[in-house]
Structure 1
């Protein structure tokens, strides 16, 4: 059990949730405001993707990230900023009868330097590192992160002085993460996000969660989350497993059956659950000290 927990709010993500809820932030102003509201509700960390303001489609435009980051920093709100670096590793094949050539309209494979361009531009305290390749519940799509790409990205993140949040979707990702640490590409203190219940990844049942937890070094700091209706129950699950918490509209758009949530709602509910468990919430400065983050802006 972890009695001192920090909350991360993943405010928008890169999926199609904006077509299902008008509460999902799309523009840089909306994403920044959502991050600020989440922080005021008790989130120590805001995890940020950006979207095309016109279409809502996921984007990796550094200018959009810069606008979000500047808006949050200029607001004077104290929150740790965590930018995704997951985009730019997408392969979509042709159908099973003819997998090649790739579907180039949907495939987005770019260099490590390009994948981190917005991180270099904004210098957040944290950015993500998706530590492996994975199938999702889509026929021809593969989230592609080769060991070579991840080693290159990890080295660049280290040189930028940004703390990587290692995103683990399955057991093999944790093995690769250990190798990156052993090779000196990721430095202590190590930060891990266990992404549970993602289709064709690690299940979100207690035994699978604890298997991953028991296969991490005890001095690593981890958070855990699940998706959809399991997001809020996982607030308690993550703390009971010894970890920290993530909620937000990236992973779930409902507060309860039939009731759409905004990010503030989800953070407030997480805070209520944790306080009922006699857990003390860590603030942004305590998280910086715990994870040895470099405050920017």
Structure 2
């Protein structure tokens, strides 16, 4: 992907990220959460030129629920003509939950594949180990699902090469460069240029930027011959302090920018050709599903008897209840809860003491150096 691609008027793939798994309607009441809401937004974005929709599943309270992706996919197919559906396999849940995003019937034509962990809030680190990444990549290959490779910082580009060398992904690599928020790549034009320069050969790059950085950095991506993702998962505002009315509103201004720069917008058919999406995914249960690496051991454990789920009472629609350790007498991260649920038979009190020490070390003031 180069400036020459821009000059040659290579079609731009537009992805609409409709809902995400972090914000709730308390942050913007126009955010779609339920299958029919998501499908209506998908249809509106398809009419404007989006050829891919990136979706998460949420339950009736707006909480993350991978199991709801089946209903979301069915609703989108009912309303849309030919759009490519891309499921998220990200988030903070255990592998056995994330892999369900690949087992809907029909399976999605695409799915996101996070190439490493990132931090959120004070004590949350997403659980994207190499074992988990490889398990999801193998499952995508097994079901003929095209991965979108999520790169949260420059070091994760090395994972693209590793996965290719291990035979888990094929060219063209659809690399999604993520800027802003959490500990993603700093949202600066120079950082965009550097990552684009270091893309592995055979890559098509997509770019998303959070919040106020969405508009300028996606415009830069268009000039560099890349593709763009916009939507309310990444940005809840149409202007500074003005909540977006819909995903279509955000996409509409992106379409205007692309057209003003004289690049055509890719149709779903052109998108499938550029990304080598074959469209014959394998959905539903398959022999060996229960043997996917990392899942069987996790499913054999029972829930930790010391864990409860309690509301913090902060009113966030996406966080009604959080895991609470009754031994440590504190809320714990979703990842910590997964560890406890999967390995409940270890010395829990000892483990909680270790976890408490970790929290205290993270929050302790840094001592001043002696003069």
Which of the five TM-score ranges fits, normalised by the shorter chain?
A: 0.7 to 0.9
Q: Tell me how far 1:296 sits from its aligned partner.
A: 5.6
Question: Residue deviations 1:242-265, cap 9 Å, x none?
Answer: 210110000001111233221010
Asked whether the 8 Å contact 1:169–1:198 carries over to 2, the reply is: no
Bigger Cα Rg: 2
Task: State the partner residue of 2:256.
Answer: 272
Structure 2: gaps (5+ residues): 282-371
Task: State the partner residue of 1:85.
Answer: 89
Task: State the partner residue of 2:56.
Answer: 49
Distance across 2 between alignment mates of 1:244 and 1:189: 14
| 1:237 aligned onto 2:225 | no
Task: State the partner residue of 2:202.
Answer: 219
Task: State the partner residue of 2:95.
Answer: 110
Task: State the partner residue of 1:152.
Answer: 135
Q: Tell me how far 1:12 sits from its aligned partner.
A: 0.4
| 1:124 aligned onto 2:93 | no
Distance across 1 between alignment mates of 2:213 and 2:24: 16
Residue of 25, 29, 32 corresponding to 1:22: 29
Distance across 2 between alignment mates of 1:42 and 1:75: 15
Task: State the partner residue of 2:328.
Answer: none
Question: Residue deviations 1:91-140, cap 9 Å, x none?
Answer: xxxxxxxxxxxxxxxxx3233xx42223222311100000001223x110
- SS for the counterpart of 1:209 is helix
| 1:135 aligned onto 2:119 | yes
Moved over 3 A (4+): none
Q: Which has the higher strand share?
A: 1
- SS for the counterpart of 2:28 is coil
State the TM-score, normalizing by the size of structure 1: 0.87
- SS for the counterpart of 2:82 is coil
Residue of 31, 36, 42 corresponding to 1:35: 42
Distance across 2 between alignment mates of 1:70 and 1:213: 36
Distance across 2 between alignment mates of 1:121 and 1:165: 18
Distance across 1 between alignment mates of 2:258 and 2:219: 7
Closer/same/farther in 2, CA of residues 76 and 246 from structure 1, 3 Å limit: closer
Question: Residue deviations 1:3-62, cap 9 Å, x none?
Answer: 321110000000124211111001111011111111111111100012112x1122211x
| 1:69 aligned onto 2:73 | yes
- SS for the counterpart of 1:274 is helix
State the TM-score, normalizing by the size of structure 2: 0.70
Q: Tell me how far 1:222 sits from its aligned partner.
A: 1.1
Residue of 37, 55, 58 corresponding to 2:64: 58
Residue of 145, 153, 156 corresponding to 1:170: 153
Alignment: residue pair count: 272
